[in-house]
Structure 1
Amino acid sequence: MQSDTTPFHDMASILSNPILNTDSYKASHYLQYPPEASAMFSYIESRGGRYDRTLFFGLQMLIKEYLCRPITPAMIDQAKAFFTAHGEPFNEAGWRYIVEHYEGYLPVRIRAVPEGSVVPTHNVLVTVECDDPQVFWLASYLETMLMRVWYPITVATQSWHLRNTIRAYLEKSSDDLTQLPFKLHDFGARGVSSAESAAIGGSAHLVSFMGSDTVLGVVAANHYYNEPMAAFSVPAAEHSTITSWGRERETDAFRNMIAKFGKPGAIVSVVSDSYDLFAALEVWGTTLKQAVLDSGGTLVIRPDSGDPLTIVLQTMRALEASFGSTVNGKGRRVLNNVRVIQGDGVNPDSIEAILAAMDEAGFAADNIVFGMGGALLQQINRDTQRFAMKCSAIRLDDEWHDVRKDPVTDAGKRSMKGRLTLLVNRHTGEYRTVTLPLAWDDRTVEGDWDEALVTVFDSGKLLVDATFSEIRKRAHAAEG
């Protein structure tokens, strides 16, 4: 049993130590490169996957959290003790060099496409370069930490594509597009692997939507992206707040929700399948109907079991029979005073299927809000968009050389070579990955193409501090 005097007793300090935020084998790599190596260049891309375009988001969070604080002698001591006991060599001289010559800040340059940009796969999204011969290997050592940007990018990408799906049905069936930001609510906090995942993934979802019950995701968006309040929620019942009344008093539990939260303009969400959804719908449409109408608010019924496609339409038909509906300008029916939120079995396929079935039945997309949990924040992985970070160039003495992986067993894993950047056509918005040399000052290149990558971090300094509103605006401009 380790004593509390060891360097390993404080998990908070371990998790905040960039030297330990890597893979074990990275510790030995400084001994494996050519002896004349003096600089290194790496890049991140999506090599394809479920979606043909990715929404870039989340790098600013990683940089602020892990790279804007200096390496300290205590961190080096902690890492040295770990790797020595772990069976790996440790480049103590290299890390102490960083402390002595850079005050602990990592001498790497990170360039990236602006967050919120929607870029076709197979393009460079991030580049990492270190040109100090003493610590050139940093460009690869940071791979483990930086590669985790796959997670917020993939969440943001999925939500952006779902926003496009929902938007298409609203345009077809609704007179009110202003409701779009609240059509897909984040229910994912309890289904993720950690609090950090809730924060990172939850904030990524909010690039496209403004409804969330994942508190840490909203807090992260506010904190890392300078946003006063990135998302909103409403009072909502869970099963315990209904079943605690007992089955015989379920109607009283429902009535209490309206009494406590039903005010003019308010939205009240009530889960209604604790015992018998159809009996509950009958109660809402008879015994409690006048209370709902008198409240001046909107009642949102949440069915939480059964086949989503079937249950949503059955719920809407029952509510329409009780509360009525109005035909909008698109010829679709909009329920009066009530809506449905579907939070069970929600994923990209079921969202599309439910909206299509509603449209076929003559219901406007106004009538539904989706709550998405595990499929939103957890049922994705690095291979969903096939993310990779690879070294593509190395400087030997004073000359740059291309580096490339090209396995004969899998052409899909072929990497790009050279010092790379991303261009964007100022007229068409088309992206193109090209090799340098181009100036590092982000100058406009000749012709119709501009450099799309900007330097966001250099030797401990965050050079771009984007706001959430800027990122949303950029993402929304790419819709369609």
Structure 2
Amino acid sequence: MRHLDNLILNTDSYKASHWLQYPPGTDATFFYVESRGGVYDRTLFFGLQAIIKEFLERPVTHADVDAAAALLAQHGEPFNEAGWRRIVDLHGGRMPLRIRAVPEGTVVPTHQALVTIESTDPDAFWLPSYLETLLLRLWYPVTVATISWHAKQTIRRYLEHTSDDPEGQLPFKLHDFGARGVSSLESAGLGGMAHLVNFLGTDTLAALLTARAYYDEPMAGYSIPAAEHSTITSWGREREVDAYRNMLHQFGKPGSLVAVVSDSYDIYTAIRDHWGSTLRQEVIDSGATLVVRPDSGDPVEVVHECLLLLDETFGSTVNRKGYKVLNHVRLIQGDGINPESIRLILERVVGAGFAADNIAFGMGGALLQHLNRDTQKFALKCSAARIDGEWVDVYKDPVTDPGKQSKRGRLMLAHNPSSGEFRTLAVPPGAASATDLALPDGFEDAMLTVWEDGQWGAQWRLAEVRERANAARL
């Protein structure tokens, strides 16, 4: 929405008054982003590059300052017009900030600094705080990528136990069905792209465009022809089998995949009578793999029963690990899917003697929408300020909630490649910079300067992010 592209107004109202609230003599501030815990004990870092490219690459102009001054005057907030004019005149409208972060795709335990933001102009010391609202929206792609990554670890575990080709199967085992259930096109693009760090299957076209725009990925994900209920039920119940036959005729080519929702009326009749009897030989002769999609009922029970029926009608082959792989057909379950139901379904499937090869999943709301900033308790906090030439620690320590205690000092993240350990460390108050610290033996700086005073320090292609994320294991 073009009327929302003014960076100065991409904040909370109360931020407009904060430049007046710091102690006299303040000329620098230092902030950091962390996950303070949450559902998962580690997060997959992703999405900062997209946010910077979308919002910080475009310089602020005097026209932006004019618009912000007028709106905030009407809104009832003071406005640092002189400070913003100075940024336009002295810095060409580019933000005098230094942003350091772990490389995107890195999996980091919670309670560690993931990003640091510091002012680089003494007269713009207030700027990191002003941009908190914008930068903390990083929580969304990180949380989606984290949910997707943990689901991937679950699926990988079952594939490694039951499949002859676990790594070949894995990239297409969790498909993004979430575009219609999110709050905006931006959410679909950013969240859908975060899922594609871990998998290659998606129906969210906005994710492809977002990956192309921000991470130099020409084609981030793939899909196949698939039926919806309207394309089946428009034939009428009495012609249900004709609807299925049409799908085979239109898309059933040798080596292809075709997905058909089959529970508009009775999934068990559809498998036993239509697919498994009337159309059985047509499925086989097509050379395609039919992917049957249940879409209602208890996912664990329905998937189990459907696999049994497909085995009865199409048969199966026992692989080298002793598990059944269906002939000519597969299942995709997209209703009621979340990280826990994935685990429960796979537990039942494997317990019944079927390889995880037989089932793929589609996840919508639970992937892109059933989450919020508190899913991983994300926070962006000030940890240091320079006042009268001296750096002082800044922190909160609420007696009513120890979990909200914040870190103090100018921070960096150190990593020991041998042990895999991460440590958030603070430099001494007299240090010249946040990286002026002798690291413990075996540790190295885990952060890079990604953005400084309007210039890129490091950028990533999606291929690099994926490689880094895929190498991480629980």
User: TM-score w.r.t. structure 2 length?
Assistant: 0.97
- Correspondences of 1:147-226 after superposition (within 5 Å): 147-177=136-166, 178-226=168-216
Equivalence for 1:3: none
Equivalence for 1:459: 453
Task: Report the alpha carbon displacement of residue 131 of structure 1 after superposing the two structures with TM.
Answer: 3.2
Task: Report the alpha carbon displacement of residue 447 of structure 1 after superposing the two structures with TM.
Answer: 2.7
CA distance in 2, matches of 1:374, 1:411: 32
Q: Is the 8 A contact 1:69 1:460 kept in 2?
A: no
CA distance in 2, matches of 1:218, 1:428: 36
CA distance in 2, matches of 1:131, 1:260: 61
Equivalence for 2:467: 473
Equivalence for 1:389: 380
Task: Report the alpha carbon displacement of residue 446 of structure 1 after superposing the two structures with TM.
Answer: 6.2
1:32 and 2:21 matched: yes
Task: Report the alpha carbon displacement of residue 462 of structure 1 after superposing the two structures with TM.
Answer: 2.1
- SS state of the match for residue 124, structure 2? coil
Equivalence for 2:305: 314
Q: Is the 8 A contact 2:145 2:197 kept in 1?
A: yes
1:428 and 2:419 matched: yes
Task: Report the alpha carbon displacement of residue 444 of structure 1 after superposing the two structures with TM.
Answer: 9.1
Q: Is the 8 A contact 2:40 2:376 kept in 1?
A: yes
- Correspondences of 1:6-21 after superposition (within 5 Å): 11-12=1-2, 14-21=3-10
- SS state of the match for residue 212, structure 1? coil
Q: Which ranges of structure 1 fall in alignment gaps of 5 or more residues?
A: 1-10
Q: Deviation digits for residues 88-107 of structure 1, max 9, x if unmatched?
A: 00110000000010000010
1:228 and 2:222 matched: no
Q: Deviation digits for residues 244-270 of structure 1, max 9, x if unmatched?
A: 111111111100101110111100000
Task: Report the alpha carbon displacement of residue 325 of structure 1 after superposing the two structures with TM.
Answer: 0.4
Q: Is the 8 A contact 2:291 2:330 kept in 1?
A: yes
- SS state of the match for residue 283, structure 1? helix
2:227 to 234, 237, 260: 237
Supply the AA of the counterpart residue of 1:183.
K
Q: Is the 8 A contact 1:38 1:131 kept in 2?
A: no
**Alpha carbons of 1:48 and 1:337: their partners in 2 closer, same or farther (altered >3 Å)?**
same
CA distance in 2, matches of 1:462, 1:353: 44
Equivalence for 1:417: 408
- SS state of the match for residue 208, structure 1? coil
Q: Is the 8 A contact 1:183 1:370 kept in 2?
A: yes
CA distance in 1, matches of 2:53, 2:120: 22
- SS state of the match for residue 7, structure 2? coil
Percentage identity across aligned positions?
Answer: 62
2:280 to 268, 282, 289: 289
- SS state of the match for residue 39, structure 1? strand
1:77 and 2:77 matched: no
Equivalence for 2:269: 279
Supply the AA of the counterpart residue of 2:332.
I
What is the count of residue pairs matched by the alignment? Answer: 469
CA distance in 2, matches of 1:443, 1:167: 39
Q: Is the 8 A contact 1:269 1:301 kept in 2?
A: yes
- Correspondences of 1:266-415 after superposition (within 5 Å): 266-281=256-271, 282-415=273-406
Supply the AA of the counterpart residue of 2:471.
A
Supply the AA of the counterpart residue of 1:447.
D
Q: Is the 8 A contact 1:444 1:451 kept in 2?
A: no
Q: Deviation digits for residues 159-206 of structure 1, max 9, x if unmatched?
A: 111100000000111111111010000000001000000001000011
CA distance in 1, matches of 2:320, 2:391: 63
